Every structure is written in C-alpha cells, then in structure tokens.
Amino acid sequence: MQTFYRDTGAFLQRLNPLSKVLAFFPALVFVALVTDPWTPLAFIVLTAATVLVLGRVPFGYFLKVAGPLLLLVVGFLIFYPFVVRGELVAGSPVLFTLGPLTVYEAGILYALATALRIYALILLSLSFTLTTDATDFVRALVQQWRLPYKVGYGALAVFRFVPMLGSELAAIRAAHRVRGLSEGGGPRARYEQLKRYAVPLLATAVRRAERTALAMDGRAFGAYPERTYYRRLRFAPRDVLFVGGFWTVCLLIVLALNAAGLLGPLVLLQTT
C-alpha cells in the first residue's frame, strides 16, 4: 500500500510533527467557519505553496494526489444547489429549472463557497500527511502531548501489521479464487463475502497481537509509569519560526481579504 509521505529532507519534513498541527489548526478552524469563496481560495494557494516550497514535494506528485480531490468541488457544485434552504436564495435570479427543481444564482454561490471550503480543509490536512512520518507523529504525541505511552506504543506495534494485513488480504483473495469463489452479488452475498475476508484477517491480527504482546512484556513494556526516550522530540527554534511565520501569513491574508471587502461573515456570527 502506498503511503503519501514524501521524505525529501526539506524544512517541513524536519519539523516536529506537532508544530505542523499547531500551525495548521487555527487555519483549519477559521476556514471551516467562513462563508465566502475567497478565503478558502487564498488558503488553498497558501497551503499548496507551503507544501511545494517548504516541503519540496515534487509538483507532479502533488498534482497526482491533490488533483482527484478536486472532483469533490465539482460534486458539490452539482448536488448542493438543488437542496439549499429556500429562504437563502429567495429573491436571487433563477438560473434554470429542472422539473420540480429550481436552481438560483445564490445557490450556485453557496455551493461554490462550501466546495472550496471543504477543498481547503482537505488540502490543509493533506499538507500534513505529505510531509510527516506517522510514527514520528505518534512518538511526539506520547513524549510532548501526554498521550499515554501504552496507547502510543500499542499503536506503533500494530502499524507494523498494516503491510501484513495487505498481503494477507491478497493471499485470502487468491485462496478463494482457487476454491472457485466469485465476488459480487446481493447484500446478503456481500455480507457473506465481507465475513469471509474479515474473519481470517481479524483472526490472524488477534493472534499476532497476542504474540507481539508477549514479546513486548518480555522486554519490560509497561513496567513503570514512565519510560525514558533515546530520541527526544522537542520544539526546536525552527519549529517556533514555522508556527509563528505561518500564523503571521494567515493573519495577513485575512486582513488583506477584509480590507478588500472579500471576507464574508463567519458562520457563527451569521444572523439568518
């Protein structure tokens, strides 16, 4: 299975994973609450630039991952105008009618704003995935944000199960084919099929979990309330620089949009 992480050794990849969470979090919350299309658009550009410049993620690769997600925007544009609440579009010019459904210009605008907002949220999340080693993220959560180490290392141990589960699934499918089993059918057949795959997969995972637990206990896992760490994850000056810098840029964008009169009211402050 392909992970999205690109270890280019660039600035973003060398950051503490948590500083990326800190930097992006306010932006995510803010974008989730805006109602105009311009703010998400600005954040889409900012995020793409950050990933491409500071993360040195190859442009082609970025397009390959981020491109298909644009379908989402298109989907929203098609679906949303038909179901939007009546009073929001009252008085807006009618674009066209399709049987009992009427599409207003305001409906399209709402759809566009919502679609861009969701795309901006996804891109902000994607920038983390593209530049962060998931195991380092777990370590940082354990060491710095007090995720109980038992949970963190339990999760790390089963990270190793993922490729095993993938190859097991392939083996199970092949084994079923040898038995002359075909896929597809009605809901009942679907459930039977799900069960035939899931049960051996889960059984293998549970047994392996029990063996791994013994190997971990045999190396004193959970012996003490705390443990020491060979590799200590900390916030370095570059992390402070990045978080501060990113927040500043975000703030400047918001101020600029506001000055240009493009920033719409935030959802929570809306009075409709």
Partner 1 sequence: MIGQAPAGRRGKLAGWSTRDLLVVAAIGAALGVALIPVTYLGLTLMATLGPFLYALSTSLSRVPSVMTMYVVRRPGAAVLGALVAGLVQVPFTPTGWVILVAFALSGAACELPFLLTRYRRFGLPTLMISGAVAALLGLALQYVPFGYGNLALLVQLALILTAAAGGALITGGLAKLLADALAKTGVLSGYAVGQKRQEV
Partner 2 sequence: MSPIEIQDLRVRYAGRKAPALDGVDLALNEGETVLLLGASGSGKSTLALTLNGLIPHSLGCEMDGSVRVAGMDTRQTEVAGLSQRVGIVFQDPEAQFVTLKVEDEVVFGLENLCVPPGDMDGRVDRALARVGMAGHRHRRVDALSGGEKQRVALASLLAMEPRVLVFDEPTANLDPVGTREVFALISSLKERGEHTVVLIEHKLDDLMHLIDRVVALGEAGEVLADGPPRAVFRDHADALRSPGVWMPQTALLAHRMGGRGLPLDPFPVTPDEAERALRRQPIPKIVGAKRRRTPEGPPGTSVNGAPAIEVRDLSYAYGDDRVLDSVSLTVPRGDFLAVVGANGAGKTTLALHLAGVLRPPRDAVFVEGRDVSRTPARDLSRRVGYVFQNPEHQFVTDSVADEVGYGLRAMGLPEAEVAERTAAMLERFGLSRYAKANPFTLSHGEKRRLSVATMLAAGQQTLILDEPTFGQDQKNAGEMMALLRELNAGGRTIVVITHDMTLVAEHARHAAVMSGGGLLFCGPTRELFARPDVLSRARLEPPPLARLAARLSRHDPAWAGLLTLDDVAEPEDPRPEGAQRRADLLP
Cα–Cα distance measured from residue 245 to residue 262, given in angstroms and rounded to the nearest whole number:
23
Structure tokens at 51: 């990933």
Minimum CB separation of residue 268 from partner 2 in Å reads: 42
Minimum CB separation of residue 175 from partner 1 in Å reads: 16
Query: Kind and range of the H or E element at 96?
Result: strand 94-98
Instruction: Choose which of 83, 90, 98, 223 interacts with partner 2 (CB under 8 A).
Output: 223
Stretch that binds partner 1, among 42-50, 179-187, 195-203, 241-249 (CB under 8 A): 195-203
102 near partner 2, judged by CB under 8 A: no
Instruction: Choose which of 84, 109, 243, 263 interacts with partner 1 (CB under 8 A).
Output: 84
Minimum CB separation of residue 151 from partner 2 in Å reads: 13
Q: Are 194 and 158 in contact (CB under 8 A)?
A: no
Instruction: Choose which of 52, 156, 165, 249 interacts with partner 2 (CB under 8 A).
Output: 156
Cα–Cα distance measured from residue 56 to residue 60, given in angstroms and rounded to the nearest whole number:
11
94: three-class secondary structure by DSSP? strand
Minimum CB separation of residue 114 from partner 1 in Å reads: 5
Q: Are 155 and 138 in contact (CB under 8 A)?
A: yes
157 near partner 2, judged by CB under 8 A: yes
Stretch that binds partner 1, among 42-50, 124-132, 179-187, 239-247 (CB under 8 A): 124-132
Strand partners, 104: 94
Instruction: Choose which of 221, 233, 238, 264 interacts with partner 2 (CB under 8 A).
Output: 221
Would you give the DSSP letter of residue 93?
Answer: P
226 near partner 2, judged by CB under 8 A: yes
95: three-class secondary structure by DSSP? strand
174 near partner 2, judged by CB under 8 A: yes
Structure tokens at 185: 């059918």
177 binds, among partner 2, partner 1, none (CB under 5 to 8 A by kind): partner 2
Please list, in sequence order, all residues whose beta carbon lies within 8 angstroms of the beta carbon of residue 31, skipping any fewer than 6 positions away. Answer: 39, 40, 43, 117, 120, 121, 124
Cα–Cα distance measured from residue 83 to residue 100, given in angstroms and rounded to the nearest whole number:
12
Instruction: Choose which of 2, 91, 97, 232 interacts with partner 2 (CB under 8 A).
Output: 232
Residue with smaller CB distance to partner 1, 84 or 103: 84
Minimum CB separation of residue 102 from partner 2 in Å reads: 52
